[in-house]
Amino acid sequence: MRILVTGGSGRLGESVVQGLLQAGHDVVSVDLRAPTRHREHWFAADLTVVDEASWALARVRPDAVVHLAAIAVPFSRPEREILRTNTALAYNVCRSALDAGAGTVVVASSPTVVGYGAPTGWAPSYLPIDETHPVRPWNAYGLSKLMAEHVMRMFTAQAGDRMRLAAIRPCYVIAEDEWAGAPTQQGHTVRERLDDPALAAGSLFNYVDARDAADFVEVLLRRAEDVPNGETFFVGAADALAREPLAELLPRYHPGTTGIADVLAGTGSAFSNANAERLLGWKPERSWRTELR
C-alpha cells in the first residue's frame, strides 16, 4: 500500500514509519518537524490549515492514512490551543483523505479519554478497562482525543463503504531508545518509573512498546475490511509498568479501585487488548521485562 503517516516525526510516528517500511509498504511521512530517520520519505505541511491538508493528501494520493499528528503531551500548551489544534487536525485529515480517495484511515486517540487522574477523583467502572468503558475526559488533551474519535465516527457515517476508519488508543508509548535510558514522554526514564510507582500510578501503569504499536497499525491496515467500520482499539502491553501486582498497587494510589482490582491476575495490565486479539489476532510481543536495558 501507499501509506501517508501524519506526525511521522513523533515518538510513535517514527516507529510506525519504520515498521510500515519494513513490511514493504510505500510510506510517506508528513510533519512540521523533520524526522531523525527516513528523511527521504518526509515532507513538511501544516495540517491544521485546511488548504494545506488538502494539498498534502492530494500530493500523496495514499491508499491509507495513519493520523498521528497532534499536540501529544497534556498541558504542554494552553488548553484551548490543544483542543483546537488536535480537533482541527483530525477533521482536516479525515476530510482530505476522503476527498483524495484514501481507502482506509486510522486515527490515534488515547486511553486518557476514560478520565483517569481527574483532580476531583476517578475510579474505573470495572477492570480491565476495554473499549466499552465509560469515557470522562477531564482536560483538553483527553477531550481532543475523544473529539478525534467522534470525527472518525462522523466520517464513518458519512463515507460508508467508501472509506474504512478506525481509532486506536495506544498506551504510554515507549520508544526503543528509552529502554536504554533515554527520557520518556514525561521526562523520567523507564527505570525511574519502575522504581517509583507514583510516577506511573496516575495513568494506571499503562504502556506499550512503540514497535508493538507499529505492528498493530500494520495489521489493522492490511485487515481493515475484516473489522467493523468505525471500530476502536486499545493497544497496550500485556503487563503493567510495575514490579508489583496491580491488585496491590492500584488501591494504594486509587482508593476507588479497592475490590475492583482483585480481578487483575499477577502483573496483568489495567487495560484490555481483547478486542484487538479477537478481531485481528494481534498480541503485543514486548514487555519491560524483555526490553529494559
Assign 64 to helix, strand or coil. Answer: strand
153: in domain: yes
Nearest to 246 by CA among 260, 231, 232: 260
Which residues are registered as beta bridge partners of 57? none
pLDDT at 266: 87
Distance CA 70, CA 220 (A): 21
127 in Cβ contact with 261 (< 8 Å): yes
Query: CB-based contacts of 290: which residues, under 8 Å, 6+ apart?
Result: none
182 within some domain? no
What pLDDT sits at residue 117?
Answer: 93
**Residue pair 38/54 in contact by the 8 Å Cβ criterion:** no
Q: How far apart are CA 149 and CA 108, in angstroms?
A: 8
Is residue 179 one of the residues assigned to a domain?
Answer: no
Grid cell in block for residue 124 = 474505573
Evaluate whether residue 117 is within a structural domain.
yes
pLDDT of 238 reads: 97
The one-character DSSP state at 260 is G
pLDDT value for 287: 97
Query: Cα-atom radius of gyration of the chain, to the nearest Å?
Result: 18
Name every residue whose Cβ is closer than 8 Å to that of residue 234 and which is 6 or more positions away in sequence.
111, 129, 130, 131, 168, 169, 171, 271, 272, 273, 275, 276
- Pair 237, 212: CB distance under 8 Å: yes
Q: What is the pLDDT of residue 66?
A: 98
pLDDT digits (tens, 9 = 90+) for 8-43: 999 999 999 999 999 999 999 999 999 999 999 999
> Cβ neighbours of residue 99 under 8 Å, at least 6 residues apart?
54, 57, 58
**Residue position matching grid coordinates 494506571:** 204
Q: Are 254 and 160 in contact (CB under 8 A)?
A: no
Burial of 279 (C-beta count, 10 Å sphere; 0-12/13-18/19+): middle
Residue range 48-65: mean pLDDT, rounded: 98
> Over the stretch 214-270, which tens digit does the pLDDT of each residue have?
999 999 999 999 999 999 999 999 999 999 999 999 999 998 999 999 999 888 999
For residue 37, being part of any structural domain is answered with yes
| pLDDT of amino acid 265 | 86
Cα–Cα nearest to 274, from 284, 285, 259, 288: 284
Which residues constitute the domain of residue 46?
A: 2-172+209-237+271-285
Burial 246-265 (b: 16+ CB within 10 A, else e): bbebbbeebeebeebbeebe
**2 beta partners:** 26
Residue 190 within any structural domain of the chain: no
User: What percentage of residues in the chain have a pLDDT greater than 70?
Assistant: 100
The answer to whether position 226 is within a domain reads yes
203 falls within a domain: no
Amino acid letter for position 85: T
Our count of domains for the chain comes to 1
CATH of the domain at 106: 3.40.50.720
Q: What is the structure's pLDDT at 225?
A: 96
pTM for this one?
Answer: 0.97
